[in-house]
Amino acid sequence: METTSLYSYFLAHPIISTDTRNIQAQSLFFALKGDTFNGNAFAAEALEKGASYVVIDEAQYQADDRFLLVPDVLTALQDLARHHRSQLQIPVIGITGTNGKTTTKELIHSVLSQQFETYATRGNLNNHIGVPLSILSIRPQTEMAIIEMGANHVGEIAFLCGIAQPTHGLITNVGKAHLEGFGSFEGVKQAKGELYDYLASRQGTLFLQSDNPFLRGMAATRQIDQVVTYGFSPDNQLTGQLIEASPLLEVRWAENGDQASHTVHTQLTGSYNTENVLAAICIGRFFGLSPEKINRGISGYAPANNRSQLTKTSNNTVIRDYYNANASSMAAALENLRVLKTDNKVIILGDMFELGNESYEEHGKVVAEACSLNASRVLFVGRAFAQHRRTGAEFYDTTEEASEALRKQPVQGALVLLKASRGMAFEKLVELL
């Protein structure tokens, strides 16, 4: 079946399902395959549960005309999204970066929603399946879209840009993450820079944190039609500074040449989030929002996804930042903890995944940095950290072992940083704090 023919089915049934456990009525079910499952085998079940049509790529499962046969289901999904995007005449803001993608996306969404009907990537559906699903979730009434794009190898951002076709974009930062796939930090810069390449080729608009030397250098090598800058130095079109972080952020900002400044109180912790706040403010001003609407959008965003999320328990104040971790985000989290004013700090860190050949060195750096903060207690969890055992800190091979240690010696009255890669399952530790 050709993409244009499949698109007519989509227009009549503009809800996409990929999992029979949560089929929506009158949806199109795409029978995707994985390492351990074949969606074609669940196509009939999807129809029984309410899907109107199913898209399959194995003819033996085609029982009637509700089974739409294509050469490859994943390719069909991606092509359908690409075609749908080509029908949309709206600004699409593409976001990538090593750290801060999701928080920045949510802040921008909260700001732009003050004035426009805005769609943003749900959760972190930012890969070769998630981006097509996000594009296909954009409805006719949508006035703006914000699409998050992730990558763990060179070429992936370029591919996702071909689907999302961003008119505007930004890279939050570049750092050491997914080094197994990228090979090196230079590989990270090359991969993330594919967004700049796309904007340059399509006369797009770039929002640039120009105080970041890596981003500034990457932008300078491309001929991008329009560059709007934000950051901390007065040369930027939008400048800001962190006023308070104890632990929630208060940020002052102003436009270049404007004598008036504005102050916004956020529900975010982590001084590293200041740049993400400024990015959202910059984009809000670019699209004509008033300072009042922008500040309302920023202050109204409350993180609830274990990214820089502050939780007060009956015993402690916990910074829950264990959705993901890499060398760059770990360093930023520790630096933030260094400047926070409190007498009782407890640090609990878990292994960082996908660092490849640099894993040993980067885990060693984190151990040294964390142990230099004069915290009341420092716990390292995971076998990568265990290779750097030293006195003055606690080391546990597993999260279960760390849980047992916290039961035997509870933490009381502390500001606790919980940071680890998602696979370390640090959510198990919150109930013990």
pLDDT at position 183, please?
A: 77
pLDDT at position 107, please?
A: 98
φ, ψ dihedrals at 326, nearest 5°? -145, 180
Distances (CA, A) of 196 to 104, 147, 212, 270, 337: 18, 15, 15, 27, 33
Q: Band of the pLDDT at 380, cuts 50, 70, 90? A: very high
Distances (CA, A) of 383 to 117, 239, 279, 306, 424: 47, 42, 37, 23, 11
| 309-312: strand order across its sheet | 309-312, 317-321, 415-419, 345-350, 377-381, 394-396
Q: Band of the pLDDT at 188, cuts 50, 70, 90? A: confident
Mean pLDDT score of the chain: 94
CA–CA separation, 328 and 137 (whole Å): 32
pLDDT at position 8, please?
A: 97
Q: Say if residue 157 is exposed, middle or buried (CB neighbours under 10 Å; 0-12, 13-18, 19+).
A: buried
Please say if the pLDDT value at position 323 is more than 90. no
Q: Looking at 11-20, 176-185, 316-325, 418-427, which range is the least confident one?
A: 176-185
Q: Band of the pLDDT at 350, cuts 50, 70, 90? A: very high
Please say if the pLDDT value at position 161 is more than 90. yes
Please say if the pLDDT value at position 63 is more than 90. yes
Mean pLDDT (whole number) for 204-214: 97
CA–CA separation, 309 and 133 (whole Å): 27
Mean pLDDT (whole number) for 60-70: 96
- 318 and 143 in contact (C-beta within 8 Å)? no
pLDDT at position 293, please?
A: 98
Among residues 364, 421, 422, which one has the least CA distance to residue 395? Answer: 364
pLDDT at position 71, please?
A: 97
Please say if the pLDDT value at position 198 is more than 80. yes
Mean pLDDT (whole number) for 21-25: 93
Q: Band of the pLDDT at 60, cuts 50, 70, 90? A: very high
pLDDT at position 309, please?
A: 87
pLDDT at position 43, please?
A: 96
φ, ψ dihedrals at 292, nearest 5°? -65, -45
pLDDT at position 251, please?
A: 97
Among residues 102, 61, 88, 64, which one has the least CA distance to residue 7? Answer: 88
